[in-house]
A and B are shown apart, each in its own frame.
Chain A
Amino acid sequence: DTGVSQDPRHKITKRGQNVTFRCDPISEHNRLYWYRQTLGQGPEFLTYFQNEAQLEKSRLLSDRFSAERPKGSFSTLEIQRTEQGDSAMYLCASSINTVRTQYFGPGTRLLVL
């Protein structure tokens, strides 16, 4: 296994458009996490799944953000009606059972014009 992968790596969109990012975790990992990171800051937790169940979503930034993990494998993060303030790096991570040791993907860099 080559680790956590994310697609696309870069996304440029216009304000008001919807975007969707995909994350493929390490295959045996049952937990999957989404973070947002802006310049000069540490990753900011958004939501996480254990298998297909979304166990924490109160930290999603607004109701324009949603995430799914339909079969407990890959996950998608969607941002509707993007705003310039959504420009950031979106990181995905996975782990087995505990959040103490997470393995991160390379991230998707979003630029909203």
Chain B
Amino acid sequence: LAKTTQPVSMDSYEGQEVNITCSHNNIATNDYITWYQQFPSQGPRFIIQGYKTKVTNEVASLFIPADRKSSTLSLPRVSLSDTAVYYCLVGAGYNNNDMRFGAGTRLTVKP
């Protein structure tokens, strides 16, 4: 079971790029890295998923180095509406025993 470590909180300002790093030193060969976003009083929302190198979608980019022991979620030009909790999960996805939510990173975007 690959455990993840993320910063508890981060602050940023509107228009800045935000990078949230997740450490997963024990990642296994078949594990993927998945990020979710959660706003207050809502369920988490899938943002992005990757296995290696770089993945980009309309919301974010995910950078994964060659050793895959960490990953970085990059949010370009954040706005106030990006204030949320961001969760990093690592697992192969075969069953729920190998994908657990931690406490996440609470991102606060200031004007």
Contacts and interface: CB of A to CB of B under 8 A. Distances in A.
Contact of A93 (B43, B49, B93, B94): B43
Contacts of B96: 33, 45, 48, 56, 59, 99
Contacts, number: 65
A105 B42 CA distance: 8
Residue among A99, A100, A101 with the highest chain B CB neighbour number at 10 A: A100
A38 B97 CA distance: 20
A2 interface: no
Instruction: Give the interface residue-count category, chain A.
Output: 20 to 34
B43 to A, nearest CB: 3
- Tell me what chain B mostly uses at the interface: helix, strand, loop, or mixed: loop
A18 to B, nearest CB: 24
A113 interface: no
Interface in B53-111: 85, 87, 91-104
A99 B94 contact: yes
A7 B104 CA distance: 26
Interface string A38-79: 001111110010000001100100000000000000000000
Interface string A71-113: 0000000000000000001011100001111111111010000
7 contacts: A42-B85, A43-B101, A48-B95, A89-B41, A93-B43, A99-B91, A101-B49
